[in-house]
Amino acid sequence: MVRARDAQDTWGHTPLAERVKCLLGAAREMLQRRQEVMQLVEQEIGKVHAEALFTEALGPLDAVKGWASVLRPALARRKVRLNPLGFPGKRAQVEAVPRGVIAIIAPWNFPVAGLYRSVFPALMSGNAIVLKPSEYSPRSSGWFAELLAAHLPAGLVQVAHGDGAVGAALLEARPDACVFTGSPATGRKVSIRCAELGIPCSAEMGGKDPAIVLADCDLERTVAGITHWALCNAGQACGAIEIAYVERSIADAFVARMAEVWKELRAGTDVAPLANARQLAVVREHIDDALARGATAVSGGAPLGQGLGFAPTLLDRCDDTMSVVRDETFGPVLAVVRVEGPAEAIRAANQLRYGLGASIWTADLARGQRLAERLDYGVVSVNNHSFTGAVPSLPWSGTRATGFGVANSALALSTFVRPRAVVVDRRKDLELYWMPYDETLVELGDVLADLQQNRLGRAWKLPGLIRRRMRALRAFFRRRRSGEVG
């Protein structure tokens, strides 16, 4: 933390253009060396090759450029007009000041790309960072931090490896802000401790994303889209689709087509294994609970032999008594809930524990957008799903148990910068409202109040009141200088 603070003092005063140039250099090298990180994420958390390429390795340069476009206007000094009657002779501006050192407690599911929306804006805003990667993916995140540090002033990027105890110790070192991504249980602890220590905290604590499938949807595209967003990264994503609310009139066709597609997917090529044994246990528990409560496993439902592979599992006729509908599964499982229509689906979706992302699948785009406005979620899509997590200009946020943190867009910058108002007074004479208080000041205040309300009956008294008030102030300060008062 000390080294980070020392480095930040200079970095925070470096022009934005120079900071962007440094990060662009790092991103270009990451892109050139992408095979290295692809191999690491495949080894550490089991990503399939295509996902290691597209979800982890290809994005750093686009991310830096995107953040630069967001930050240039957001960090620019902004002039503020002051009322010349109430504040004569003064000018003001608001500027964004880096907070200092940002603690970033990161998850394992996207150990490189998941850092783009916290590390890049934190550094570009003029901060230093201390990164606590997940203990499940230390080499992948460490690779990212090492390449980044090589293009930046020494000490600006620090890494603290370890488990939750290291994260707790990091907070006790009093960073100037914290970004957390992870489970609700840990996120609540982090948020509470940050509040106790007076540390601004942005926390994203999971999701249980629903897709609402309407009867008029393009069935082939809907099945393909929901398949991708349910099974990408083996469903181990906060923005994965975990529930499909399907209109009853097309539910049979939807389930049948989905089952056909899922049975063609290849383990290890299309669908990754789970990242760790703990997640495998959660997936099995949710499936067993659903089957015991009356759900039907249309495809999958069991591990793929040895290791952490798990067959993509489509569960039909689910309901809200089941863990697979209530709680975050974080695995290659989709629960199908049959509904009478969009009103029932929206009502059910808005009662879910989490509120990160949701989507509506329909051929009627205008209707889809109207329905989207009724969903109490941070990100709502029509005929697609959570790709916006990789777009720096669009906010990524949620409601309910997902937490109140915001990633991406200028709306996320309150974690990385604070506002500072700078006011310059050009006047050399005294202010009308300065002490000592007297009847002239009170009468002047009454006239100013009338002017604000367009009551001009006493406005003619204003010049005389000002002159008398100024004479009284000058006389008071002459007496003070001569020792006659105070």
- As annotated, the active-site residues are 204, 238
Please answer whether residues 334 and 261 qualify as being in contact, where contact means their C-beta atoms are separated by less than 8 angstroms.
no
β-bridge pairing 406-407 and 396-397: antiparallel
Contacts of 117 (CB under 8 A, 6+ apart): 63, 389, 392, 396, 407, 408, 412
Q: What SS3 state is found at 178?
A: strand
| Ramachandran area for residue 305 (φ above 0: left; ψ -120 to 50: alpha; else beta) | left
| Residue 436, preceding peptide bond in cis (omega within 30° of 0) | yes
Helix spans in 115-163 (H): 116-124, 138-149
Question: What DSSP letter does each residue of 25-83 carry, written as one string?
Answer: HHHHHHHHTHHHHHHHHHHHH---HHHIIIIIIS-HHHHHHHHHHHHHHHTS-EEEPPP
Distance between CA atoms of residues 41 and 113, nearest Å:
11
In the DSSP assignment, the letter for residue 229 is H
Q: Report, in this order, helix, strand and coil percent for the chain, each rounded to 5.
A: 45, 20, 35
Helix spans in 176-327 (H): 184-197, 219-231, 248-264, 277-292, 323-326
Please answer whether residues 342 and 373 qualify as being in contact, where contact means their C-beta atoms are separated by less than 8 angstroms.
no
Distance between CA atoms of residues 167 and 211, nearest Å:
34
CA torsion angle for 453, 456, 458, 461 (degrees, to 10)? 110
CA distances from 19 to 15, 152, 363, 370 (A): 7, 9, 45, 42
In the DSSP assignment, the letter for residue 341 is S
CA torsion angle for 350, 355, 357, 360 (degrees, to 10)? 0
